[in-house]
Amino acid sequence: MSTVNSIALPFVTASMLDVERIRKDFPLLSTLVNGHPLVYLDNAATSQKPQVVIDALSDYYQEYNSNIHRGVHYLSQKATDAYEESRLRIQKFLNAERPQEIIFVRGTTEAINLVAQTLGRTSVGPGDEILVTALEHHANIVPWQMVCEEKRAVLKVVPMNDEGELDLNEFQRLLNTRTKIVAITHVSNALGTINPVNQMTQLAHRHGIPVLIDGAQAVPHMRVDVQELDCDFYAFSGHKMFGPTGIGVLYGKRKRLESMPPYQGGGDMIKSVSFEKTVYNDLPYKFEAGTPNIAGGIALGVAVDYLNGMDIHAIQSHEHDLLEYATEKCAAVPGVRIVGRAKDKASVVSFVMDHVHPHDIGTILDADGIAIRTGHHCAQPIMTRLGIPATARASFAFYNTQDEVDVLVRGLHKVNEVFGV
Ligand SMILES: Cc1ncc(COP(=O)(O)O)c(C=O)c1O
């Protein structure tokens, strides 16, 4: 049995990734699509999973499936230990001060909704403001709009320039005594922009405003230290960082979490219940009502171990090379225009092509086994700001190669041929 204590870690050299070796850890990367080797460039939507993560899921169901936290029997204790051990791994991964600050949720969307429905609903009143940025995913817009609607508050937006970079002067100008929450994305899923969340958090804190960071697109690409960031909340999804779907994390500072009401009511989030009065459980369980995604939580810990086994500098350098190479090669294809040219970018290349709708680009590439994403990427306000309905987006992970970029570029030439350009 490959328990969570004995997983194989990917081989890395001092500063270079052995990408071919790493690819062998991901079974789906060697599949064929439409008779072609899969070129998977849709990592911002979800990443592929290493075998150790897949094994952790099936090991749980095959070998110790049991409900956690309430059983005295062997299986329940084993599952509880594995689940709680995973929480500790995630605590270390984020450098959170305490395991109680790690709340398991379904994903980034649920994490943000949790904060909106608890802190948001209790601290925001009529005329107050919630500050987001022009670069947000819908998951970091709509939950705040819902709070604003209910509380008659106002959603304010930090604008961006044509390159996809936030206007920090405007951010500072927008912070005021009415601002109750700042909610910002660490990395834009649509354009790849890396925001200066450290600086933004400091600025917001000067006004005593709590900051939530949407880290969905950051954790697969960089080490995140929540104490260094000093953010009040940090949200991410397991499935974008080589873990399973249906599991994610909300980090929250203990003091903040303690002062917030529970999100959902039910089992596990209580100490005692009577019809007259319920006493809520301590952190983190206060925010974890009901039977959680046990297998997912355990396997997320394995994904964290997998990432920890790699040299983050080697990952960043490899992904940076891929970004530069892909940007240059794609931009050289006639009719292609890169969308989002921020100075600080993660490995996301969004683009449009003259006379070709992004959906057609995606369909033609798919015929050759190339998986990219097309559409508004759940970030419609970005598209509106840039005056385009959609983009095609190639997003890279550490297991992607320059050869795959070459296949993509050949595919884009083929798109031009099909459209007679
Ligand atoms: C920046 C960002 N935030 C939030 C989300 C929502 O994540 P999930 O659907 O896993 O909850 C995504 C997903 O694409 C994202 O890219």
Cβ–ligand 1 contact at 395 (below 6 Å): no
Instruction: Determine the pLDDT at residue 15.
Output: 55
Place of tokens 């994403």: 373
% pLDDT > 70, the chain: 96
Q: What is the pTM of this model?
A: 0.96
Instruction: Examine the domain organization and report whether 115 and 227 are in the same domain.
Output: yes
Nearest CA-CA partner of 398 in 346, 351, 350, 349: 346
Helix (H, G, I), strand (E, B) or coil at 129: strand
Domain for residue 47, yes or no? no
Instruction: Examine the domain organization and report whether 270 and 394 are in the same domain.
Output: no
Instruction: Determine the pLDDT at residue 4.
Output: 41
Instruction: Output the CA 277–ligand 1 centroid distance in Å.
Output: 37
Which of 262, 285, 308 is the last residue in one of the domains?
308
Q: Which domain holds residue 231?
A: 53-308
Does position 99 have pLDDT exceeding 60, yes or no?
Answer: yes
Domain for residue 36, yes or no? no
Domain harbouring 361, CATH code: 3.90.1150.10
Domain for residue 163, yes or no? yes
Instruction: Examine the domain organization and report whether 261 and 297 are in the same domain.
Output: yes
Distance between CA atoms of 195 and 165, rounded to whole angstroms? 8
Say how many residues make up the chain: 421
Nearest CA-CA partner of 33 in 372, 319, 296: 372
Average pLDDT over residues 76-100: 98
Mutate which of 237, 300, 393 for ligand 1? The one with the most ligand atoms within 8 Å of its CB, which is 237
Instruction: Examine the domain organization and report whether 79 and 61 are in the same domain.
Output: yes
Instruction: Examine the domain organization and report whether 289 and 181 are in the same domain.
Output: yes
Helix and strand numbers, DSSP H then E, in the chain = 15, 17
Segment 265-277, tens digit of pLDDT: 999 999 999 999 9
Domain for residue 298, yes or no? yes
Instruction: Examine the domain organization and report whether 245 and 162 are in the same domain.
Output: yes
Domain for residue 16, yes or no? yes
Instruction: Output the CA 107–ligand 1 centroid distance in Å.
Output: 8
Cβ–ligand 1 contact at 107 (below 6 Å): yes
Domain for residue 332, yes or no? yes
pLDDT band at 71 (very low <50, low <70, confident <90, very high): confident
Cβ atoms of 82 and 4 within 8 Å: the answer is: yes
Instruction: Determine the pLDDT at residue 14.
Output: 43
Instruction: Examine the domain organization and report whether 192 and 317 are in the same domain.
Output: no
Instruction: Examine the domain organization and report whether 217 and 319 are in the same domain.
Output: no
Amino acid occupying residue 330 = C
Distance between CA atoms of 274 and 233, rounded to whole angstroms? 32
Instruction: Examine the domain organization and report whether 300 and 398 are in the same domain.
Output: no
- Sequence-ordered list of residues with C-beta below 8 angstroms from that of 223, at least 6 positions apart, any chain: 312
Domain harbouring 162, CATH code: 3.40.640.10
Cβ–ligand 1 contact at 113 (below 6 Å): no
Instruction: Determine the pLDDT at residue 16.
Output: 84
Structure token digits, residue 267: 């089992």
Domain for residue 279, yes or no? yes
Nearest CA-CA partner of 291 in 89, 127, 104: 104
Provide the domain count of the chain. 2
Which of 292, 308, 324 is the last residue in one of the domains?
308
Average pLDDT over residues 232-242: 98
- Sequence-ordered list of residues with C-beta below 8 angstroms from that of 98, at least 6 positions apart, any chain: 91, 254
Cβ–ligand 1 contact at 294 (below 6 Å): no
Nearest CA-CA partner of 7 in 309, 269, 357: 309
Which of 281, 308, 335 is the last residue in one of the domains?
308
378 is catalytic: yes
Domain for residue 161, yes or no? yes
- Sequence-ordered list of residues with C-beta below 8 angstroms from that of 59, at least 6 positions apart, any chain: 1, 2, 3
pLDDT band at 2 (very low <50, low <70, confident <90, very high): very low
Cβ atoms of 56 and 300 within 8 Å: the answer is: no
Instruction: Examine the domain organization and report whether 20 and 89 are in the same domain.
Output: no
Instruction: Examine the domain organization and report whether 164 and 80 are in the same domain.
Output: yes
Instruction: Examine the domain organization and report whether 367 and 271 are in the same domain.
Output: no
Instruction: Determine the pLDDT at residue 70.
Output: 82
